[in-house]
Structure 1
Amino acid sequence: MGKVSLPPRVLIDGDDHPHIRKDLFECYGLSLYFKREYQFAWCEGGLPGWAQRCCAFGWDRELYQRTYPLPFSINLETVPCLDGIQKDLDLSFVGLISNRDRIRVVNFLRTVQDIRFEGWVYAELTDRRSKLALGTFSILKEKMKGDPRISESERGLKLSYHEYFNLLGRSKMALSVPGSGFDTLRYWEIVAAKALMISPKPFIVIPNNFEHKKHTLFCRSDFRDVPDLVRLYSRDDTAREQFVDAAYDHLLRYHTCEKRAMQFLEICQKNI
């Protein structure tokens, strides 16, 4: 009997890290590689970016040419109706403690007296106490004590899906803080909830991404300019709502689940 001819296969890598699984690509004879946390673009980065790409793809230019970004998108059918909710908050953020920057940002924003901020972080019961620690010494101290699991009292409040969207609906602006990777559902949910998103500039490749001061506000990576941005745009309803409407239209055009599926299929049709 002759060999059975298999249809083309592709890899969809949804992990939070930028590592390229060259081993899987070669082992299974895959035709295309789709990467959610795609951090490698030939057009930017200079020598450090060039070196990073070479390490990621192992000098394999063919693999690079067959690898495409595929970030999250939004399923609008799951977004509850938020019409009529009073926007009584200037800024909000709630997130899992998957990145210590989230703890730092919340602590910092709580010290700002002249903006209406509501936000906190929460943990899963499987998380260890070192995740709550800030600074090398504090982390090592928890590790030396055996790094016990976070207690129920330390966990913080995890909102239900509808409670979370209700918070976004109350917010003039909402913050997107990277977690284990950059791409989070929050990045798309904020826009779907028609709040003005404030986020660090993405360090991953997002085709047809939102643009600064057209759809969203890209802040500094240390978030220190966020209070000034909030003060400005919480008072300027016209500019803020213009960004919000433009971002929502852009979301409908490029970043719904249906649009992402079409982009995926178009790449497959062109390259297989």
Structure 2
Amino acid sequence: MNLLYINRPNFDYIQDFIYTGLISVLGKEQVIEYPWNFKYHVNHRPYPKNIGLVTGNFFGSLFSKVDFKNIDAVILSSCHPFNMQKYLEIMDKIDTNVPRIFLDGGDFPEVAGDLSRLGGEEIYQEIIKKRPFDLIFKREYLLNKSYEANVHSLPLCFNLKHLPSKQTSNYKYDVAFWAVETAPIRTKSLELLENKFDCKSNGTVRNQVMSKYKRKGTFYLEELQSCKIGLNFRGGGWDTLRYWELAALGCFMISQRPQIKIDNNFIEGEEIIYCKDDLSDLIELCNYYLEHEEERKRIGSNAQKRLKKHHSNIARARFIIEKIEALQND
């Protein structure tokens, strides 16, 4: 299967995770990036800015030419006007029977909803008027919202290649939530926590600024792994990378319950603990699991096992490929 992967040079969670997953499943020759993307071939930024990196194909990809007549499916990999414009420029070069797939990794619940803030709505409308998408994969697929039958849930995931080389058993922090206040629940949680446990000393405080973070790259993941309890609350959307990072690291997680569709989600009480939406039980839950180490470790370990099986970048890529193949065989 030859996939034409319409991408943009900027960092993009869904776009970059799925690119590496598809490469792992299909191979480098079968996933044709368009336009050529420098950051997919040169490790010039630390995690998570490098999650799209695939080594060993720099020159082969740089000098390759796209044969638009030899494409089995087209993937528009991001809900961004850059991707829309690039796709619009070449869509007439591709046979109309070739399946068209749209990965909507935006924060808005509506399909292509992020274009209302980014621009590009008119381009999107022109695209779907000429040739509608056969499959749409939606990150913020709300549980309480209806979608067309060709729209499928596609939350974030984790590339296991980015796990720290050693899994730590030495905990440095009790309870941590290092995050900027992009949603009211984040502010409320930080207000509750700031003078509890070791939160203030470990940086779980109000008014954090991402550009001033000292925990970056692999060191950030090592620090996250060093937490007895890692917390997760929604940001601009329900789906957060933290939700998947904590599980990938085997870290015990207390989270707000995501209101998006997640197939094979973590099992409450066995692999994750959900707090109440008003956070009225958050401190109580933290106290309980700080005192029950074995239970805490077991839940973290169980979450890690589920993530490796169902929520890696490779698992997400296989899900997309299965849907494309089903479409082609229909």
- Residue matched to 2:46: none
- Residue matched to 2:280: 224
Q: Which amino acid aligns with 2:100?
A: R
CA RMSD between the two structures:
2.2
Specify whether residues 4 and 88 from structure 1 end up closer, same or farther in structure 2 by C-alpha distance, changes over 3 A only.
Answer: closer
**Maintained 8 Å contact 2:172/2:227:** yes
**TM-score, scaled relative to structure 1:** 0.73
Match of 2:310 among 254, 257, 268: 254
**Cα separation, 1, equivalents of 2:250 and 2:183:** 25
- Residue matched to 1:20: 111
In the alignment of these two chains, the number of paired residues is 219
Q: CA deviation at 1:184?
A: 1.1
Map 1:91-170 to 2 at 5 A. Answer: 91-112=175-196, 115-117=197-199, 118=202, 119-120=204-205, 121-123=207-209, 157=213, 159-170=215-226
Q: Which amino acid aligns with 1:107?
A: E
- Residue matched to 1:31: 134
Please give the secondary structure, in 2, of the residue aligned with 1:90. Answer: strand
**TM-score, scaled relative to structure 2:** 0.61
**Cα separation, 1, equivalents of 2:275 and 2:108:** 22
Match of 1:83 among 162, 167, 182: 167
Q: Which amino acid aligns with 2:282?
A: V
- Residue matched to 1:150: none
Residues 99-124 of structure 1, C-alpha deviations (whole Å, 9 max, x = no match) = 23222211211133xx3333135335
Residues 51-97 of structure 1, C-alpha deviations (whole Å, 9 max, x = no match) = x53xxx5xxxxxx1111000111011112234345213221111133
**Cα separation, 2, equivalents of 1:85 and 1:241:** 10
- Residue matched to 1:215: 271
Mapped pair 1:203 → 2:259:
yes
Q: Which structure has more RCO (C-alpha within 8 Å, separation ≥ 6)?
A: 1
Specify whether residues 105 and 82 from structure 1 end up closer, same or farther in structure 2 by C-alpha distance, changes over 3 A only.
Answer: farther
**Cα separation, 2, equivalents of 1:193 and 1:254:** 15
Please give the secondary structure, in 2, of the residue aligned with 1:94. Answer: coil
Q: CA deviation at 1:253?
A: 0.7
Q: CA deviation at 1:6?
A: 4.2
Specify whether residues 86 and 239 from structure 1 end up closer, same or farther in structure 2 by C-alpha distance, changes over 3 A only.
Answer: same
Residues 192-245 of structure 1, C-alpha deviations (whole Å, 9 max, x = no match) = 122111111110001100011010001111222111111111111121111111
Q: Which amino acid aligns with 2:209?
A: A
Specify whether residues 4 and 26 from structure 1 end up closer, same or farther in structure 2 by C-alpha distance, changes over 3 A only.
Answer: closer
Q: Which amino acid aligns with 2:142?
A: Q
Q: Percent identity?
A: 26
**Maintained 8 Å contact 1:38/1:205:** yes
Please give the secondary structure, in 2, of the residue aligned with 1:96. Answer: coil
Please give the secondary structure, in 1, of the residue aligned with 2:193. Answer: helix
**Cα separation, 1, equivalents of 2:233 and 2:214:** 17
Structure 1 unaligned regions, length at least 5: 41-48, 58-63, 125-154
**Maintained 8 Å contact 1:92/1:167:** no
**Maintained 8 Å contact 2:162/2:218:** no
Residues 158-184 of structure 1, C-alpha deviations (whole Å, 9 max, x = no match) = 531233223212211100111100111
Q: Which amino acid aligns with 2:312?
A: T
**Cα separation, 2, equivalents of 1:209 and 1:4:** 38
